[in-house]
Amino acid sequence: STALLISFAFIMMQLWRIPSMTLKTVKKKVLLFGGYRGTNYHGLQMDATKVKNPNTPPTIENELRLALFKAGCIIPSNSEDLSKINWSRSSRTDKGVHAARIGFSAKIEIPQQLVDEFKDNAGEGPQSFPTLVSSINQYLPDDIQLFSCVRMTQGFSARSGGSWRAYEYILPLRLLQSSADNQALSDESLLEKFNSYLLQLEGCHDFHNFHRMKGKEIKYRSRRKTLPMGSRNTQEKVDFS
């Protein structure tokens, strides 16, 4: 009987070491903000049907999926398909593209203790979980990091919840030099010429060829916000078309 008691005590001690067995969790809808260098990845989005294939190219979302699972934020039965936790991203990037700030919404498992601690110290602002962010980041590679985790309403979606997106493109000035030019233009002249072309894209235009939405589904808004070339200050313009 003594041997059985010792064996039972040993087993209980091992179970105590497993976070999922020791921490009571509650499922909450959250918004995860993060950033990454996409050099080593084949884009952001993962293919859930190829998770078990060892030859599948690495993606940002697959690294996030693994880190969330290891941190106890996803139960095993939901760990291979992010759609099971209502996963949504604010935008997508292609192979080799970086993101300075991007949002992901999902219903994840959060330790009840963290939720209770916030209620005890409730103040102004949304409910955030910095301790959880640190726990997830320890399982992420150095080129992917989460910045914050904020609790959201059950119906929130990162894709539809974003009101604007900013993109920055970098290209060599030599690509702007046309072979039709009689002489090489200065850097300032090249930028001025290129910006004059980009100005034609501002305003209200029909860009239906650039997306899957049908023309009859497009809803034009009377007030639009545009970001003039060379400026980071948002300027509001009124469109009467």
Residue 134 identity (one-letter amino acid): S
d(CA 41, CA 49): 18
Instruction: Specify burial of residue 80 (Cβ count, 10 A radius: 0-12, 13-18, 19+).
Output: middle
Active-site residue among 47, 94, 116, 181?
Answer: 94
CA 173 to chain centre: 31
47 is catalytic: no
- CA dihedral sign of residues 145, 171, 45, 150: positive
Query: Residue 36's CB: how many other CB atoms inside 10 A?
Result: 24
d(CA 103, CA 33): 5
Pairing, β 99-111 against β 144-151: unpaired
**Which residues participate in catalysis according to the annotation?**
94
